[in-house]
């Protein structure tokens, strides 16, 4: 059976599952662990899942537990997870000059979540070149700090690993057991990490639109305002939402954690400002930490829930329900309250299908959060606050934890594994996967019933 004969709604979830299982088998091997012993299956499965799903939650210390071979496997899984296995296979086909059938193009379109097959191979090539360029630039920028600190070979390897992990919003590093906490007073390392996180989270469609419009605008000597007006409505919304969420999170974390002795109190004012900004950005599905999440205030915790749940933007490496989805769902509520007939945004009408899809994604994601939080709370001796943080972090593929992940029992770890997988492929995709074939439209018409709502 050819892969292209399998519907994309089934093949895409299956492809991630296969990548996870293959990664698990590789990580079980003695060559993957630093001490040369076999790794138990649940630990290997958890690590492979968090890598492929670019989450960042870990049950063992990535730095000390895994060997160099294990680190290579993890990094390879992160890169596959960031791209998506279908995209990776398509890139290999493109590099080897294999011909793409109509089925291949359709599969690639679905895996990239695009609404058209037009120019799909050109888009694939630009994604491949753009990603490698950004990751290489990130590695070079990191190397300025890491090579002098760790030496040429180890420093270069750490730079490459961190650049790919940050761009893919994976949040896994091999610097040490404390993530980026030793660099909380190093604005340069934090800036490079934030830059890579944001670039990965914006999405490829926004990349290309920004590059095209800005290049054309500079040649035509347009003002910044004129350039912004020429962006697509999608790009405008993504940029506006990204800036707004980062700014709100930055302000809240700075105020809420300013005098918190467990987080920012002992830092200088500039470090408090920079670490508050870093926290606001890393919560958008990145997973790196410059201070412990276990000590944040209740206000910060609530804002963290919201930022993690929303996540990054469509057609990128970030997770969550996505910025555009959140805004359209919110817009639907406002439109209904105002009794407006249509949804207009940046002078364009938003389709009813997009509005319905956004609402469904929000509802299903919220239901998943509640369900898995209760399951985790029922099977592990944890507080509801910690369980909620862990579940949202895993479903949104964030990777931050209130120091809970490694203390979970086997059932708890399996619950988080399922959450990470669902977060990467999307709860909607899993529902469709098990629903079977989509039925044809029903032409029967029924009398309208009376249902009292509200």
Which range among 151-155, 205-209, 355-359, 443-447 has the greatest average pLDDT? 151-155
What 3-state class would DSSP assign to 44? helix
For residue 352, pLDDT beyond 80 = yes
| Among candidate residues 313, 266, 311, the one with its CA nearest the CA of residue 291 | 266
What 3-state class would DSSP assign to 345? strand
SS (H, E, C) 361-393: HHHHHHHHHHHHHHHHHHHCCCCHHHHHHHHHH
For residue 444, pLDDT beyond 90 = no
| Average of per-residue pLDDT across 167-191 | 91
Looking at 140-144, 434-438, 450-454, which range is the least confident one? 434-438
pLDDT of 9: 62
The DSSP code for 5 is G
| Among candidate residues 46, 61, 30, 53, the one with its CA nearest the CA of residue 173 | 61
If one counts every other C-beta atom within 10 angstroms of the C-beta of residue 402, the result is: 21
As to burial, measured by CB atoms within 10 angstroms (0-12 exposed, 13-18 middle, 19+ buried), residue 105 is middle
What 3-state class would DSSP assign to 68? helix
| Among candidate residues 423, 427, 422, 420, the one with its CA nearest the CA of residue 48 | 420
What 3-state class would DSSP assign to 33? strand
| Average of per-residue pLDDT across 403-407 | 91
Alpha carbons 336 and 325: distance in angstroms, whole number: 17
Asked if 268 and 184 touch (Cβ cutoff 8 Å), the reply is no
Give the CA dihedral 430, 8, 42, 282, nearest 10 degrees.
-80
Q: Mean pLDDT score of the chain, rounded to an integer?
A: 86
Residue 147 host element (H or E): helix 120-150
Kindly state the tokens that stand for 296: 């944040």
Kindly state the tokens that stand for 247: 């700014």
For residue 431, pLDDT beyond 60 = no
For residue 3, pLDDT beyond 50 = no
pLDDT of 6: 57
For residue 48, pLDDT beyond 60 = yes
For residue 296, pLDDT beyond 60 = yes
Looking at 28-32, 106-110, 227-231, which range is the least confident one? 106-110
| Average of per-residue pLDDT across 366-382 | 95
| Per-residue pLDDT tens over the stretch 61-72 | 999 999 999 999
Alpha carbons 46 and 56: distance in angstroms, whole number: 10
More confident residue, 380 or 105: 380
pLDDT of 366: 93
| Per-residue pLDDT tens over the stretch 297-313 | 999 999 999 999 999 88
pLDDT of 351: 87
What 3-state class would DSSP assign to 46? helix
Asked if 312 and 169 touch (Cβ cutoff 8 Å), the reply is yes
Largest Cα–Cα distance in the chain?
Answer: 75
CA distances for 325 relative to 119, 229, 318, 335, 359, angstroms: 25, 22, 13, 15, 8
Which range among 43-47, 209-213, 346-350 has the greatest average pLDDT? 43-47
pLDDT of 91: 63
pLDDT of 109: 62
| Per-residue pLDDT tens over the stretch 151-172 | 999 999 999 999 999 999 888 9
pLDDT of 4: 47
| Average of per-residue pLDDT across 183-207 | 91
Alpha carbons 227 and 210: distance in angstroms, whole number: 9
pLDDT of 357: 86
pLDDT of 424: 84
Whether the full predicted model's pTM is greater than 0.85, yes or no, is yes
Looking at 121-125, 138-142, 377-381, which range is the least confident one? 121-125
* Phi, psi of 344, deg, nearest 5: -110, 130
| Among candidate residues 221, 398, 243, the one with its CA nearest the CA of residue 317 | 398
| Per-residue pLDDT tens over the stretch 225-283 | 888 889 989 899 999 999 999 999 999 999 999 999 999 999 999 999 999 999 999 99
Asked if 210 and 235 touch (Cβ cutoff 8 Å), the reply is yes
pLDDT of 1: 38
Q: How confident is the model at residue 73 (pLDDT cuts 50, 70, 90)?
A: very high
Q: Spell out the residues 6+ positions from residue 51 whose beta carbon is closer than 8 angstroms to its own.
A: 23, 74, 77, 78, 81, 170, 172
pLDDT of 119: 66
Looking at 41-55, 339-353, 411-425, which range is the least confident one? 339-353
Q: How confident is the model at residue 429 (pLDDT cuts 50, 70, 90)?
A: low
Quote the crossing angle between the two packed helices 8-28 and 41-52, to the nearest 10°.
130
Looking at 137-146, 155-164, 344-353, which range is the least confident one? 344-353
Q: How confident is the model at residue 442 (pLDDT cuts 50, 70, 90)?
A: low
pLDDT of 82: 81
């Amino acid at each position: 059976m050819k892969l292209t004969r399998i519907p994309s709604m089934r093949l895409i979830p299956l492809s991630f599952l296969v990548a996870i299982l293959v990664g698990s088998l590789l990580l079980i091997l003695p060559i993957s662990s630093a001490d040369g012993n076999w790794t138990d299956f649940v630990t290997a499965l958890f690590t492979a899942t968090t890598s492929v799903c670019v989450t960042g939650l870990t049950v063992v210390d990535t730095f000390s537990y895994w060997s160099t071979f294990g680190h290579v496997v993890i990094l390879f899984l992160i890169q596959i997870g960031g791209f998506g296995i279908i995209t990776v296979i398509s890139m290999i086909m493109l590099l080897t000059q294999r011909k793409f059938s109509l089925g291949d193009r359709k599969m690639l379109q679905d895996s990239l979540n695009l609404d058209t097959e037009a120019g799909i191979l050109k888009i694939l090539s630009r994604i491949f070149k753009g990603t490698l360029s950004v990751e290489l630039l990130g590695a070079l920028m990191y190397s300025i700090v890491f090579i002098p600190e760790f030496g040429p070979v180890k420093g270069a390897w750490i730079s490459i690993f961190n650049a790919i992990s940050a761009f893919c919003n994976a949040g896994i590093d091999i610097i040490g057991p404390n993530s980026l906490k030793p660099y909380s007073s190093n604005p340069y390392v934090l800036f490079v990490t934030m830059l890579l996180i944001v670039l990965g989270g914006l999405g490829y469609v926004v990349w290309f639109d920004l590059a095209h419009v800005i290049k054309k605008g500079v040649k035509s000597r347009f003002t910044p305002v004129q350039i912004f007006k020429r962006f697509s409505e999608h790009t405008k919304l993504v940029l506006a939402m990204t800036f707004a969420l980062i700014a709100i999170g930055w302000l809240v974390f700075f105020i809420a954690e300013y005098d918190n002795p467990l987080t920012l109190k002992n830092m200088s004012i500039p470090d408090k400002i920079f670490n508050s900004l870093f926290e606001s950005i890393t919560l958008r599905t990145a997973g790196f930490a410059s201070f412990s999440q276990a000590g944040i205030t209740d206000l910060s915790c609530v804002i963290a829930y919201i930022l993690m749940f929303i996540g990054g933007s469509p057609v990128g490496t970030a997770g969550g329900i996505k910025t555009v989805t959140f805004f359209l769902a919110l817009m639907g509520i406002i439109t209904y309250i105002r009794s407006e007939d249509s949804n207009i945004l940046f002078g364009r009408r938003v389709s009813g299908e997009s509005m319905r899809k956004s609402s469904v994604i929000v509802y299903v994601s919220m239901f998943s959060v509640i369900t898995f939080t209760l399951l985790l709370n029922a099977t592990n001796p944890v507080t509801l606050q910690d369980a909620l943080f862990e579940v949202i972090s895993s479903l949104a593929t964030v990777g931050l934890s209130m120091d809970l992940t490694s203390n979970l029992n086997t059932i708890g770890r399996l619950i988080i594994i399922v959450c990470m997988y669902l977060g990467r492929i999307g709860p909607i995709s899993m529902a469709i996967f098990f629903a079977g074939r989509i039925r044809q439209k029903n032409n029967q018409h029924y009398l309208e019933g009376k249902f009292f709502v509200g």
